[in-house]
């Protein structure tokens, strides 16, 4: 039913109530405890990881790791809070107040003060002797055992170490060193140690005893280091070597090269620092250190079923084919290979996962197990991995696919 003067009650009440509006900015804006205002940063806790930069949907934040600065474009920020949510150090907060209005678009830059890194930072677990890392320790090196392989420099999280093989020096930046012990744990020669400060001067550069440089015929990949004659070097026993290439992957100076088709194992003596990583990883125990037959002038190539010979060639080539045990029959050749018993095989795929050359493929849906014979190096990893003991090494017709 229509009526008149329905609004009168409100109009009269309005005469006597205070305004619903707020005279902002003369009166401060209403703030709740959870109000999302301007983004603030605790710059001392910031590690400049840049996650806030990547997560900002408006691209308002930029982080400069080298300059240790964090910048925000106040006019681009939409106060969504994504940066606050994602900061791993929780150093970002949203204060209640909005950023003050301004007449120009400005960026706000926060920079970390250039203070020395406090010694309480520890990153790696304690060294093998079980004692905790104490901040009053310094890093020292025994240059007589150091082989300048550079593994310590690679493991250092702050880049405090520098190894110069050409100059024979090992340098530590004491202000950047966190005494974390990563390098100590990683040194294959056990040349590094963290010792009480009072026992050692804070020298920064250590030099190995100088030795005459050997001129090489070709330019090797890595800087050369002198290896006088009669030096220890790595050698391989090709009767047991299966040319799997694990030593290649582990060599920190990329001194080793393996050519499975040609049957050769080659080492660049100029690059090899005899760190022994390859020895540790070879599970056929084919590698060893010896002082005999080591020619340090360049690359030494060992060929399977042939005499080891030294070549000045830069990369290992195949001068003669290795003796093959495969027949050249057009039908399935018979030879030494991985055999599978498909009755016990459950197609779990563990053999495929363990194969270092990815020669095995397991198709569960099609119930097939297949192997690329030319890639298989007979390392035996699959045999060891099979939970059903379905695999073995045998003289068999070398089929490539087996179906259940």
261: left (phi over 0), alpha (psi -120 to 50) or beta: alpha
- Segment near other proteins (CB under 8 A); pick from 8-16, 238-246, 300-308, 357-365: 8-16
Q: Of 4 and 365, which CB lies nearer to other proteins in the complex structure?
A: 4
HSE, side-chain direction, 13 A CA sphere, residue 123 = 15
Decide: is 80 part of the binding site for other proteins (CB under 8 A).
Answer: yes
- Is the Cβ of residue 36 or residue 155 nearer to other proteins in the bound state? 36
Query: Binding to other proteins (CB under 8 A): which residues in 185-244?
Result: none
Binders of other proteins among residues 88 to 127 (CB under 8 A) are 94
Q: Which is nearer to other proteins, 83 or 180 (CB)?
A: 83
Q: Which is nearer to other proteins, 1 or 365 (CB)?
A: 1
Q: Which of residues 339-378 bind other proteins (CB under 8 A)?
A: none
Question: Measured from the CB of residue 46, what is the shortest distance to other proteins in angstroms?
Answer: 20
What backbone torsions phi and psi does residue 111 show, to the nearest 5 degrees?
Answer: -125, 140
Strand pairing category for 264-268 and 256-259: antiparallel
Q: Read off the tokens for 336.
A: 């030494």
Q: Site for other proteins (CB under 8 A): which residue of 53, 62, 82, 392?
A: 82
Number of residues that bind other proteins (CB under 8 A): 28
> How far from 354 is each of 234, 244, 278, 339, 380, CA to CA, in Å?
27, 13, 19, 16, 10
Bond preceding residue 25 cis, omega within 30 of 0: yes
Closest by Cα among 353, 354, 336 to 392: 336
Q: How far is the CB of 81 from other proteins (least distance, A)?
A: 5
Binding status of residue 20 toward other proteins by CB under 8 A: yes
Measured from the CB of residue 5, what is the shortest distance to other proteins in angstroms? 8
Of 44, 67, 75, 81, which lies in the binding site for other proteins, with binding defined by CB under 8 A? 81
* Contact mark string toward other proteins, 29..58, x via CB under 8 A: -x-xxxxx-----------------xxxx-
Q: Minimal distance in Å, beta carbon 30 to other proteins? A: 7
Structure tokens that stand for 392 in this block: 């073995």
Q: Rounded CA gap, 94 and 178, in Å?
A: 32
The one segment of 74-82, 106-114, 247-255, 340-348 that binds other proteins by CB under 8 A: 74-82
Nearer to other proteins, 98 or 206 (CB): 98
Secondary structure (DSSP) of 62-128 = EEETTTTEEEEETTT-----HHHHH-TT--EEE-SSPPPP-SS--EEEEE---PPPPTT---SPPPT
Whose Cβ is closer to other proteins: residue 55's or residue 74's? 55
Taking residues 283 to 312 in sequence order and writing x for each that binds other proteins by CB under 8 A, - otherwise, the string is: ------------------------------
Decide: is 23 part of the binding site for other proteins (CB under 8 A).
no
Q: How near is the Cβ of 39 to other proteins at its closest, in Å?
A: 13
1 vs 26 by CB, closer to other proteins: 1
**Choice from 67, 75, 85, 195 touching other proteins (CB under 8 A):** 85
- The nearest distance, CB 9 to other proteins, in angstroms, is 7
Site for other proteins in 139-168 (CB under 8 A): none
Q: Are 274 and 147 in contact (CB under 8 A)?
A: yes
- Name the residue with tokens 């202000």: 175
For residue 361, count other CB atoms closer than 10 A to its CB: 16
Contact 244, 376 (CB under 8 A): no
Pairing label, strands 264-268, 299-303: antiparallel
- Beta bridge pairs of residue 371: 360
Q: How far is the CB of 78 from other proteins (least distance, A)?
A: 7
Q: Give which of 99, 380, 36, 404 is closest to 242, Cα–Cα.
A: 380
- The residues binding other proteins (CB under 8 A) are 1-4, 6-7, 9-11, 14, 20, 30, 32-36, 54-57, 78-82, 85, 94
């Amino acid at each position: 039913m229509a009526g008149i003067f329905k609004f009168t009650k409100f109009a009269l009440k309005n005469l006597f109530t205070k305004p619903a509006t707020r005279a902002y900015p003369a009166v401060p804006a209403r703030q709740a405890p959870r109000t999302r205002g301007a983004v603030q940063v605790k710059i001392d806790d910031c590690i400049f990881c840049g996650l806030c930069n990547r997560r900002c949907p408006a691209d308002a934040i930029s982080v400069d790791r080298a300059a240790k600065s964090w910048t925000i474009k106040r006019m681009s920020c939409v106060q969504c809070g994504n940066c606050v949510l994602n900061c791993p150090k929780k150093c970002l907060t949203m204060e209640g107040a909005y950023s003050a209005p301004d007449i120009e678009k400005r960026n706000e830059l926060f920079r970390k003060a250039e203070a020395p890194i406090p010694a309480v930072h520890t990153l790696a677990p304690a060294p093998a002797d079980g004692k905790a890392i104490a901040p009053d320790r310094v890093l020292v090196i025994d240059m007589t055992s150091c082989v300048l392989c550079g593994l310590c420099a690679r493991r250092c999280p702050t880049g405090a170490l520098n190894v110069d093989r050409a100059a024979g020096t090992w340098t530590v930046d004491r202000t950047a060193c966190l005494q974390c012990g990563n390098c100590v744990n990683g040194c294959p020669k056990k040349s590094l140690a963290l010792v009480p400060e009072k026992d050692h001067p804070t020298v920064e550069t250590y030099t190995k005893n100088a030795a005459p440089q050997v001129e090489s015929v070709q330019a090797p990949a890595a800087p050369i280091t002198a290896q006088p004659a009669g030096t220890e070097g790595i050698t391989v026993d090709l009767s047991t070597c299966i040319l799997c290439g694990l030593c290649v992957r582990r060599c920190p100076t990329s001194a080793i090269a393996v050519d499975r088709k040609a049957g050769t194992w080659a080492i660049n003596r100029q690059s090899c620092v005899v760190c022994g990583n390859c020895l540790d990883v070879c599970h056929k125990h084919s590698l060893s250190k010896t002082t005999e037959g080591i020619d340090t002038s360049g690359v030494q190539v060992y060929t399977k079923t042939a005499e080891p010979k030294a070549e000045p060639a830069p990369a290992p080539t195949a001068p003669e084919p290795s003796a093959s045990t495969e027949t050249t029959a057009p039908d399935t050749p018979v030879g030494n290979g991985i055999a599978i018993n498909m009755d016990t095989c459950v197609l779990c795929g563990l053999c495929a996962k363990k194969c270092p050359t990815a020669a095995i493929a397991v198709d569960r849906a099609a119930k097939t197990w297949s192997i690329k014979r030319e890639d298989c190096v007979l390392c035996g990893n699959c045999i060891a991995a099979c939970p059903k003991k379905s695999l073995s090494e045998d003289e068999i017709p070398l089929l490539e696919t087996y179906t259940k």
